[in-house]
Structure 1
Amino acid sequence: MTSSAEHGMQVSMLDDFLAYTLAGKRPGALETQGTCANGARWSWLDDGVLQIEPASRGKGIRSVLASAGVHGDETAPIELLSHLVRDIARGRAALTCRLLVILGNVDAMRDACRYRDDDLNRLFSGRHTQVPQSREAPRAAALEQAAIHFFAAASDEPGARWHIDMHTAIRASAFEQFALLPHTGRPFSRAMFEWLGEAHISAVLLHTTKGNTYSHFTAQACGAEACTLELGKVRPFGRNDLARFAGADEALRHLLAGTNGSVHSAMPRAFTVIDQLTKQSEAFELLLAADVPNFTPFVKDTLLARDGDYRYTVRHDEERIVFPNATVKPGLRAGLLVVETTQDTLAGLV
């Protein structure tokens, strides 16, 4: 039986996990676990890290890591996750899988900024060891360990491990809601593409090299079907129209409930990375309007960037730019160039 003290902690923490986390609260030693209305067991593991196990577990049960706030100012998906925790706690959302909820850069969330020293989503796969003085480095290490520990108890059956990392973009996009899939060397998953279609994701960016994002880490180190979702624009807490993200929210809830959503959703268009712009020095220039949307197309021979002797000129009949950002630190990515590969990509799904 749940004690009154445990029930009170459960209500205050799970009813608004976001507010609880932003307030810097931490449960006492005897208050880190409890039971939801549907019998699921929750465990508070760390600041912004909550694990929920379903009431019953079968062989091959799915394990899902759902994360948001890896960039502290990307508030809409953080709010969606907090509402999801509340609904599971109250028995309003079904849970048939193992779930790990992570609010990523909590300190940046509290400061209403993207990050404090370094972009947390560039510090995974051990890159945090290269910036030991960064205030983001310990968090990157902690989130790596949280994922490793969670998936260590997961089934090895195909499709049993998932990671949905939810973000919002800095700028507008020709496709308002899109996804990025990490490069693993394995064929891309039809189940993931179908889930993205259900989530109303209209475009998918396919990486062709390994990266240092959280979804790259879980795909490589934990064998997860992992994706990064870009669900709109950065806005302050409380200023989001969450109805605009209903597709992703409902698709995630269906994934956790083990139910099928819309089976007739259109598959997203696929775009493959063919190059990136790297800022080599403070002389770097992006020869674009400051507010050019993601996935803006450019024709062959268009000069897009220069940096000293370096020039980037469009080589294909059409290339689209994603994440153009001239303000990054030297040595970091200042933009990705992609070409559409929908037909070949969909034909190669497994």
Structure 2
Amino acid sequence: MALQALLYGRGRLSILDQLQLPHRRHYRPVDGVSAAWTDIAAMRVRGAPAIAIVGCLSLAVELHHREDMDKEALASFALESLDYLVTARPTAVNMARAAQDLTQFIQLEVKRPDSTADDFKENVICRIEAMLEKDISDNRSIGSHGAQHILSTATTDKVTILTHCNTGSLATAGYGTALGVIRSLWALGRLEHVYCTETRPYNQGARLTAYELTYEQIPATLITDSMAAVAMKEKHITAVVVGADRIAANGDTANKVGTYQLAIVALHHHIPFYVAAPSQSCDLSLDSGHHIPVEERPANELTHVNGVHVAAPGVGVWNPAFDITPHSLITGAIITEFGVHHPQDLQEVLTGKKQHIS
């Protein structure tokens, strides 16, 4: 059974505190919107799909416990909460997209003349719970589409994948995006090996991806970020598969910093480079990656390791959490729950004007 980033039951939510992994598996209760915002900003929960799901479920939990409020007051509280949650991590678009969808739903629900406050609460909570189930279903579809496409172009019976950051059960509602592709290959008996980068400075690969892979006994090797080029040269990598926090209309992709250089190196070694993400991560309002806001993290993530200062005192620090990979470097495909797409076709595919590759 895969690790679960969150545990949810009506009126109750807990998240697996990813700051304590891999040393301790501790589920931390989230009693409402304010707690969720803090946990997202502190990266106790991370990964664009998981951020959206946890944010919205925190609203469902708080709505469940709200009493003695009329329908209009509940709607105002929900809309203000969604606006607040979007500010926790600016680069990942999934929370903003989920907030937009829920806002439209809430605005329609509150106007229903035949509904009570209890009806309103129930309908909004059910809508959020459906998002949880859809995320898991979408991830499984991404995994299947990606695995089949990689195998269709592979020249060996079993494939070797290189991945970056964490894109598995810990970054989603379950199963994963890029790591979902790896899980699907493993389930098919067609995966030889996985190489995962440590993903400095926050070490999501070393702490989280390596943890998920060893937990499920998938054959894996951890490498430093600076070993990626030589790994592609010497380790018979079939494909590079990464996730995405936001994808612009032209296919430019924001993902964990270090992704851009992986794409460049993959191109040099003629290794296909894939991006796996739900359509919720696609922001068609942005023409290109130039318009994607890039979050900058605190300096101490570079200067300290486990609270110990390891850098020269007084040195300046630049710590962008993400970088932008141009669509021209995505030589494999973009994989969504709908199929496998050429980056330049993404907008037409998602608006129904063009079919996906497979």
> TM-score higher than 0.5 here?
no
Considering fraction of residues, name the structure with more helix: 2
- Say which structure is richer in strand: 1
Taking structure 2 as the reference length, what is the TM-score of the superposition? Answer: 0.25
How does the TM-score come out when normalised to structure 1? 0.25
